[in-house]
Amino acid sequence: MPNFENDLQNALAEAQRELFIEQIRRHPELSLADLLALGKGKFSNLLNDVTVGHLLGDADARPSERRPGRPAKAATANKAKAATPARPAAAATGAAAPGGTVNTRTPEGREAYDEAVLGALRSVGGPANSEQIRPLAGGTSLQLRTSLTRLANEGKITWEGQARGTRYSLV
């Protein structure tokens, strides 16, 4: 009996899906927004398997195996690991790697990073925001903000503005 029940459920689901597609085809005045609204209601499970090919009458159209969207987390993580080069020796010793990882856990690493931030400010040549400094000095936005605060407290740089409009200059 379980096979019969499964076959019956599959046949009913397929018939419901075909009827749904037929009804959509009968109303060509429906906009994509209307279809989107249907997808959020009780017909969402039916609309998930319908492709544009089905609506246009393509007999070879098959439901997609995976809904479009973000790639799976594992694929993203593997791609990021593969694309990340080995840490340069400068980053391992605490100095800044251009646009890369820095070590600010030790006093020596923080000093080296502060020097890299000062060097980045020198290379910009005038007042700069953090978005201009960070690609040159490396590190995360938090590491950069912390370093800029340290440098301002030491009197090596000045700042003006607020939030994203903050500009840093050498003294």
In a domain, 75, yes or no: no
- Distance between CA 163 and CA 171 in Å, rounded? 21
In a domain, 6, yes or no: yes
Task: For residue range 61-80, list pLDDT tens digits in order.
Answer: 555 555 555 565 555 555 55
- Identify the CATH number of the domain in which residue 93 sits: 1.10.10.10
Task: For residue range 30-41, list pLDDT tens digits in order.
Answer: 888 888 887 777
The encoded tokens of residue 121 equal 């400010």
- Distance between CA 16 and CA 22 in Å, rounded? 10
How many domains does the chain contain in total? Answer: 2
β-pairing, 157-160 vs 167-170, is antiparallel
Q: Do residues 166 and 111 share a domain?
A: yes
Domain limits for position 49: 2-56
The residue among 56, 75, 98 that closes a domain is: 56
Q: Do residues 163 and 101 share a domain?
A: yes
Residue ranges in the chain assigned as alpha helix (H):
2-25, 32-40, 44-47, 52-56, 73-83, 89-92, 107-124, 130-137, 141-153
Task: For residue range 135-155, list pLDDT tens digits in order.
Answer: 999 999 999 999 999 999 999
Q: Do residues 112 and 157 share a domain?
A: yes
Q: How many residues does the chain have?
A: 171
In a domain, 38, yes or no: yes
